[in-house]
């Protein structure tokens, strides 16, 4: 049914009134809970009551993309998450492996490790599909080295589309879904993370460094869940973990130095600070979790038992189930299972938080730390200009960030800008 001008005006008014009211109520509730304690909150949880408007708004969004009037549409209809949840359940997909290239350009993939993936470049607000054989893309912590996995071969280059450094033809790790790919800073090795094991890939070997084989189980297989790993920025250390194993700190050959006991239930994320002085690890239980910080200069002497805490660690954040994050020069930005991104410093002080919706599945930041791109399981990429002022009164959170746009990558739909 084609909407009349009056229909659209009525739709716009209802969308904006209910959207701004919902955002205000949520922000007030969160401020009260964090100031006075959540146990003292006696009010009802706010509800976004715009679900019945979603299909009509989505039709108008598609029309705005066809007629190149998205800027005006974005002013008339500030974006939202909750009204579209019922559409995302069928059409959404994870946006993962976001990596900054330069200027306003990133590369990323859609789909999880065992789905048919599609890689894209996003430059400004324009998307370019890459070769369909690309299954994973990663970037080094320093020195601007990229790694691309396609057709059971991993190629590292100096810069995006730069000179080839190495090419690794996979054998032990062939045909497995790649959760994450992190090239070493020299491009001569790659850390490959998968549910079939975590490997160091080099021209000499494909060395599985996690999980540890069970010598008493003749039928042991390296199948893991919630697999996660990271490299220190200087590549001195590797950290690995999964649902069933505490985080293990290894040297850069894969030899274990120490273990860091889980403080919640399931280890699912790890990251070094930008200066490599601290390692943070997250463990989760259902949709909640605990993130701790560990002095990275003292791995040989730390003792952090599971569930007990320790003088060798501090609590960085005690609510988020973290799937991805970035380290800036001043703080970490972490993404959680509830759709929030949150900035927290190395002492555990909360700086800001910002709601986007759905599970946050990927994140990258520009070298000047002014632009953040966030991918989620909703099938959306959000481009945020940090600390550039709010764009509308529908924003949920305590940050002061301007959402430049969000792109929607839904199954069986064109890519849409909002």
Euclidean distance between CA atoms 239 and 35, whole angstroms: 36
Mean pLDDT score, 251-259: 97
pLDDT band at 1 (very low <50, low <70, confident <90, very high): low
Q: How would you class 42 by CB atoms within 10 Å of its CB: exposed for 0-12, middle for 13-18, buried for 19 or more?
A: exposed
3-class SS of residue 240: strand
Q: What is the mean pLDDT of the chain?
A: 96
Summarize pLDDT for 366-384 with one digit per residue, the tens: 999 999 999 999 999 999 9
Tell whether the model's pLDDT for residue 125 goes beyond 70: yes
Per-residue HEC secondary structure of 345-398 comes to CCCCCEEEEEECCCCEEEEEECCCCCEEEEEECCCEEEEEECCCCCCCCCCCEC
pLDDT at position 43 = 92
Mean pLDDT score, 116-134: 97
Mean pLDDT score, 297-316: 94
pLDDT at position 396 = 97
Closest CA to 363 of 294, 293, 288, 271: 271
**249 phi, psi to nearest 5 deg:** -95, 125
Summarize pLDDT for 269-292 with one digit per residue, the tens: 999 999 999 999 999 998 899 999
Percent of the chain residues past pLDDT 90, beyond the cut: 95
Euclidean distance between CA atoms 227 and 216, whole angstroms: 23
Half-sphere exposure of 99 (CA within 13 A, CB side): 25
Tell whether the model's pLDDT for residue 139 goes beyond 90: yes
pLDDT at position 5 = 84
- Cα dihedral angle (81, 82, 83, 87), rounded to 10 degrees? 80
pLDDT at position 309 = 87
Summarize pLDDT for 168-202 with one digit per residue, the tens: 999 999 999 999 999 999 999 999 999 999 999 99
Tell whether the model's pLDDT for residue 46 goes beyond 90: yes
Domain boundaries, the chain: 5-76
- Please say whether the beta carbons of 408 and 416 come within 8 A: yes
Tell whether the model's pLDDT for residue 2 goes beyond 80: no
Is the link from the previous residue into 211 a cis peptide, with omega within 30 of 0?
A: yes
pLDDT band at 393 (very low <50, low <70, confident <90, very high): very high
The more confidently predicted of residues 286 and 75 is 75
């Amino acid at each position: 049914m084609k909407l009349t001008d009056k229909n659209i005006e009525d739709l716009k008014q209802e969308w904006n009134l209910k959207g701004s009211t919902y955002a205000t109520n949520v922000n007030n509730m969160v401020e009260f809970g964090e100031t006075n304690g959540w146990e003292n909150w006696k009010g009802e949880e706010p509800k976004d009551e715009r679900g019945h408007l979603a299909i009509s708004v989505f039709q108008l969004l598609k029309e705005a993309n066809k007629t190149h009037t998205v800027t005006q549409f974005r002013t008339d209809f500030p974006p939202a998450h909750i009204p579209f949840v019922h559409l995302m359940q069928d059409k959404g997909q994870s946006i993962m492996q976001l990596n900054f290239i330069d200027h306003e350009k990133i590369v990323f993939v859609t789909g999880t490790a065992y789905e048919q993936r599609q890689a894209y470049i996003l430059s400004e607000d324009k998307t370019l599909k890459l070769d369909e054989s690309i299954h994973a893309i990663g970037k080094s912590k320093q020195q601007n080295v990229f790694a691309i996995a396609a057709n059971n071969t991993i190629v590292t280059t100096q810069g995006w589309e730069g000179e080839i450094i190495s090419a690794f033809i996979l054998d032990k790790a062939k045909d497995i879904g790649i959760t994450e790919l992190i090239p070493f800073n020299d491009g001569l090795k790659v850390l490959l993370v998968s549910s079939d094991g975590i490997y160091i890939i080099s021209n000499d070997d494909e060395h599985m460094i996690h999980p540890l084989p069970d010598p008493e189980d003749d039928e042991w297989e390296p199948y893991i869940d919630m697999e996660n790993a990271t490299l220190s920025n200087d590549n001195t250390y590797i950290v690995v973990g999964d649902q069933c194993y505490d985080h293990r700190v290894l040297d850069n050959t894969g030899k274990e130095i120490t273990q860091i006991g889980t403080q919640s239930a399931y280890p699912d994320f790890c990251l070094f600070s930008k200066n490599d002085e601290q390692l943070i690890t997250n463990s989760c239980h259902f949709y909640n979790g605990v993130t701790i910080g560990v002095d990275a200069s003292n791995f040989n002497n730390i003792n952090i038992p599971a569930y007990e805490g320790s003088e060798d660690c501090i609590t960085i954040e005690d609510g988020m189930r973290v799937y991805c994050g970035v380290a800036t020069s001043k703080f970490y930005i972490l993404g959680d299972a509830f759709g929030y991104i949150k900035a927290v410093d190395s002492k555990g002080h909360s700086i800001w938080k910002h709601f986007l919706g759905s599970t946050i599945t990927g994140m990258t930041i520009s070298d000047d730390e002014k632009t953040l791109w966030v991918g989620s399981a909703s099938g959306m990429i959000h481009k945020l200009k940090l600390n550039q002022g709010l764009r509308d009164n529908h924003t949920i959170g305590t940050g002061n960030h301007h959402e430049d746009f969000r792109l929607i990558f839904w199954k069986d739909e064109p890519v849409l800008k909002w």
